[in-house]
Amino acid sequence: MQHLRGKSASELGRAIGAGQVDPVDLTEDFLSAIESSPFAARIYARTTPDRARAEARAAGERARLGQRRSLLDGVPIGWKDNIDSAGVATEAGTALLEGRMPARDAVVLRNATAQGLVCLGKTHMTELAFSGLGVNPVTATPPNIHDADMAPGGSSSGAASSTAHGLASAGIGSDTGGSVRLPAAWNDLVGFKPTHNALSTDGVVPLAARFDTVGPLAQSVEDAANLFAALRGSSAPDLRGASMSGARLLVLETVACEELRQAPARAFEAAVASLEKAGAHAERAAIPAVAEALAMAGILYTSECYGTWGAAIEAAPDKMYAPVRERFEAGKTHGAADFVAAWQRLGALARDFAAAVAGFDAVIFPSVPTTPPATADLLADATRFASENILALRNTRIGNMMRLCSITLPTGQPSCGIMFNALAGHDRRLLRLAAAAEAALP
């Protein structure tokens, strides 16, 4: 079975459909792998073996009767610990919510279950999802696939680590400023942030509801597309025949390409060359609206995050890791009038951005400007933690603030991704383009 755990979720689904593997055996293999992994406690906050086995048995019976509900019926995946699961603790990586027990599944989990996916358990994450580094000394810091002592990326750190280490076929996370795409990039995965509100966040512990999204971390674009469909309870986009030939790509210069570390810069340029060789046309331009929008990220994010969690934090501040708590507390300093004005200005900037990129199939740039720092160095230096966190999230945050759908793909260079962004509502078209790009990249 171990060779099957190395396959993508879609490949596993096809193997189930062909009668080559029983969902029960597959699920038992994943549960056994989790139990025996030296990283299990750092990746899973808790597993749900009873639920997984019951769902696998039902999937196996449907397969035998020819009544499978989707390609992924019977495929085991993991869920970030801020996505509610009925009767199972959902604590969002924080001691503030210790023992929190939701009565029902989040809508996305309910949809996925109806499509036959098997729930393996809940994966570790950054406290309340408010850090891009994935470091969490309160609960656990999952291991990066390249070095267990390096930061995994966050906040969907366990979702990335479980998938990269073969302890789930894919993971479901949330993305408010990059929390799906950043850990996906640092662990050489595909990470997809759909358009805001394309997937329900009902039953997902909020961070900043105006930005919060849910999305998959997976081994392929095909997996991301099929998981997106499962989370919606809809049909998957058709990726067949996708081609880069004639695709118009805009390389977003200035902000997204500034202060790049050497490896991400080199990987991105090599990836662009590969896309052009496959028939894409790349142009380069700066869009001033992006820089102005990013300058407002502090007030827009911290105000809402503190407004949502301030009372709980102030009641027990010592329960939180100080550098993360301080990010929330920064929201105290902003007035309501400034917050409203910033949101109104962001709307205008997003419209300017949309007009500037309307003629392109995608806007592209390096997924993350940096590579993973050592976890111990971040824990030893709060100032470095803050600066590395801000820089790591800079590029991914563009997608959230400009109201885009966005996907990161591996470039072939470890922990370096290339990000494709499209205007709101073009999720299925973006996934087709990403499938073509995936085939063109190393």
| Catalytic residue list | 80, 155, 179
- Residue 147 phi/psi, 5° resolution? -160, 115
CA 437, CA 155: separation in Å to the nearest integer? 26
Residue for token digits 């080559």?
A: 20
Q: How many helices (H) and strands (E) does the chain have?
A: 17, 11
Residue (of 20, 144, 353) closest to 4 by Cα position: 20
Q: Which two tokens stand for residue 259?
A: 């202060």
3-class secondary structure, 435: helix
Q: Which residues of 338-360 are buried (b: 16+ CB within 10 A; e: fewer)?
A: ebeebeeebeebbebbeebbeeb
3-class secondary structure, 93: coil
The residues, ordered by sequence, that sit 6+ positions from 392 with a Cβ below 8 Å of its Cβ are 132, 133, 153, 178, 182, 368, 369, 370
Q: Is 291 exposed, middle or buried (0-12, 13-18, 19+ CB in 10 A)?
A: middle
For residues 48, 51, 56, 57, the Cα torsion angle rounded to the nearest 10 degrees is: 140
3-class secondary structure, 336: helix
CB contact at 8 A, 30 and 168: yes
Alpha helices in 135-201 (DSSP H): 157-164, 181-186
Alpha helices in 201-296 (DSSP H): 221-232, 262-277, 288-295
